[in-house]
Structure 1
């Protein structure tokens, strides 16, 4: 059965709850959920997918993605050179600070090397990286048309294969028999199935939960009140909270997330990639008091961009300002909003509402500390500062070529890392015991691999790997259940 119309869906929801609707129930509508649904259907299981969003907003955070981090031992189509397993692992180890499950992380890394042919089979197309993203041409495969095109391709393939899809169906609770899944509920509607995959995302759009996770700081502020939600508005963590309260084993720090510094003018929800400010490593970043607070040139931008949201969240009023001069123009992917422009530093400070004298002093002190060698933004070059705290380790050029540009920054939460503990079969655990027919994929379990930090494209790698595993395992569990029922009869 293809997509259910709103009218039919409403009529179905008001009908008597079905005793059983599918072999495999998939809860969620993003990349991980779709991978699970497609794999279960390919294995021969009947599949029902429940997406909380309306059709036009389907796809969760996956609609805002653009690439997948891929291990490869030699050049492959859109990927240049090689990106072997050990380098991928070291990159992940560095950004997480060691807070990761190595066997599960390596499972994801290895799976990333073999998933692209399967993705192509389901209509996903890849392209060489765009200008401004060439530094990840070796590590990341870019989707033609971005995440929205990927999501649409998967939905088309799912519909063609007979996956049933219901939109505007948020699941709020699960019925269990011990550690076995029995049914899911969306309001009064009950959905029974022989196996289930949970892939309903984190809790980033639940402001009350974010407030609870981040708490109140020493300045009396509630940092979460100033967060923008870079991802979907539909991830409120209702199912995640229910599962934890029902005894599912949890993993991860609720305050950790994929938290990016984005344009302060971005919308509250669904700003996506175009609101990210990518010029941080080409200039300096100051807080509301016009003081620098971190090394802007610590490492390549794809490995460090995701730390800046948390850094800004720790500043007064949860705001920062990325400052560049004309030398940086054309060297980064421009954001959707133009920067504030001025011909002098004092004028820029006034336009941004920063203390003028302090701002000028901060920039002049930085300029004087710059030791310019051979600038190359594609390498860890030798342009650095001396006798400056915090230092700028690479790409340190004086800000001396007007016009100057400034971008106000806010923390932008993409997805949260608190999730459910899993094993290599994507099974949900209760008191250390894996469920025989309940699985989890995507952001609801990403904290097993991402204890903190992020590197570009790894979220899609996790979702794709565990989505495919969960779908395969759920189909197997459903068939075993059918066989046991027949034998008992």
Structure 2
């Protein structure tokens, strides 16, 4: 019999599998996707947000625990479990050597890559390289991995995991029979439900304009996160946490593909100009804070606009100051021409930009600092980096909400245990996006998802090995201590 069954194939799942295997357990990983799409949303990541008290290899200066916590507190609006959040924060300071031992390499951030040289460690080769390194390490250690095996049901007995059920399916034209896989313990790390269009519709409903907002959402990540297992666990009585409409939702290029657009579809010039809706009107402060701390609110902001679309507008002065997106912007030599090309109401759009230009109070522009360039007498205000948009050519980028992962998940504790009406399961654990809502009630800050997945993936794998009868080292609260 398998000792530890890991359901999922992304960062958190692989961290769990590696930790359980290092403890001596026989481990099987079930990945719902084909091999070429393995890794879930982790294949699209770039970095890990890391606490550090002093400069560390690829990280400059210091990013102490309290500052990290305050950053998280600000983006979540206080909707977070401080105990679990601090576990992830502390673990982020010490996990990189373990990651390196499994083949992950880090590099300094590229010039102009967000403003995170102090806070985030970038993966050499990005998330795909990280995922591949973990799979290579897992397989070399004897972890079994199976692809194209979506788990449809979990068999429980009084909160104890008994077996996973795989439905009959067709793979490469071949019909495969249903299966039942028993294990002594199990880690659930199968992601959220962002690729389930029906569930998104159910969660978001209709707005006052009669629109179904989620119909216009694009999915930045994997198409395989349909939430089947998450919904089944909730049906089976597992304690849930989180708002189903809350998600890591970014404003991305409206021309991006429906699935797997990844990082390159993000539009990073929002704070350098203005954003208007399809009526040609601004609707939020583009300069509220540094882009890495605010980029993840813009998907939701665009989702609240008519038609769930917006347009990021800049002029020539801003070119070269942001990471260029994969698609070029619409270019025009006048504001009126740009409005016509973007099919915006010309008079309203031109008035919006001219009103903004008149309101700009330009001091010392510095996009690497919270500068003194702001607007006066304008609503909404732009509180930093406000410069007139008056130097042709002008550029416009269409924006849609891009969902990375949803925050509805399973409630857990410092041991990554699944609970049923408050009672912890003796052998069922959860990690990654399936429990990230414990820490992320709303909002996001760059690299925090990987910190949560790495911390709780390692905890879940360790605890699952212990539940299967293996003596190991528990990983909790960011520190290792022996369990005997």
**Normalising by the residue count of structure 1, what TM-score does the alignment of the two structures yield?**
0.94
Q: Is the 2:250–2:299 Cα contact (8 Å) retained in structure 1?
A: yes
Cα deviation digits, residues 352-409 of structure 1 (max 9, x gap): 0000111110000000000000111111000000000000000001001111100000
- Whole-Å Cα distance in 2 between the matches of residues 436 and 241 of structure 1? 21
Q: CA deviation at 1:131?
A: 1.9
Partner of 2:48: 68
Deviation at 1:134, TM superposition (A): 5.5
In the other structure, the counterpart of 1:226 is: 216
* Deviation per residue, 1:441-474 (Å, 9 max, x gap): 0000000000000000000000000000000000
TM-fit CA distance, 1:147: 0.3
Q: Kindly indicate whether the alpha-carbon contact (under 8 Å) linking 1:259 and 1:415 is maintained by their aligned counterparts in 2.
A: yes
- 2:280 aligned with 1:294: no
Instruction: Please state whether the residue corresponding to 2:151 is helix, strand or coil.
Output: coil
Q: Does residue 236 of structure 1 match 2:236? A: no
Give how far 1:101 is off: 0.2
Following superposition, the deviation at residue 480 of structure 1 comes to 6.2
Give SS of 2:469's match: helix
Within 1, Cα distance between the matches of 2:199 and 2:348? 37
Q: 8 Å contact 2:5–2:28 — kept in the other structure?
A: yes
Which residue of 57, 77, 93 maps to 1:77?
57
1:384 and 2:381 equivalent?
A: no
In 2, Cα distance between the equivalents of 1:167 and 1:135? Answer: 37
Query: Helix, strand or coil: the match of 2:468?
Result: helix
2:33 to 50, 53, 58: 53
Residue 133 of structure 1 and its aligned partner are, at CA, apart by 1.5
**Are 2:106 and 1:116 aligned?**
no
Which runs of structure 1 show a deviation greater than 6 angstroms over 4 or more consecutive aligned residues?
Answer: none
Q: Please give the alpha-carbon distance, in whole angstroms, between the structure 2 residues aligned to 1:148 and 1:351.
A: 37
- The aligned counterpart of 1:36 is 16
C-alpha contact 1:131 1:333 (8 A) present in aligned 2: no
- The answer (yes or no) to whether the contact 2:24–2:470 under 8 Å persists in 1 is no
Judging changes above 3 Å, is the alpha-carbon distance between structure 1 residues 270 and 43 closer, same or farther for their aligned structure 2 residues? same
2:203 and 2:244 in contact (8 A); partners too = yes
| Structure-2 separation of matches of 1:133 and 1:95 | 20
**CA distance in 2 between partners of 1:69 and 1:139 (Å):** 6
Runs of 5+ consecutive residues of structure 1 not aligned to the other structure: 1-19, 482-489
Distance in 2 (alpha carbons) for counterparts of 1:190 and 1:131: 50
Q: Quick check: which one's helix share is greater?
A: 1
Secondary structure of 1:183's match?
strand
Equivalent residue number for residue 141 of structure 2: 161
How is 1:45-444 mapped onto 2 (pairs within 5 angstroms)? 45-133=25-113, 135-187=115-167, 188-444=178-434
Q: Secondary structure at the match of 2:199?
A: helix
8 Å CA contact 2:360, 2:375 repeated in 1: yes
User: Paired residues, what number?
Assistant: 461
- Root-mean-square deviation (CA), in Å? 0.8
Normalized against structure 2, the TM-score is what? 0.95
Residue 105 of structure 1: how far off its partner (Å): 0.3
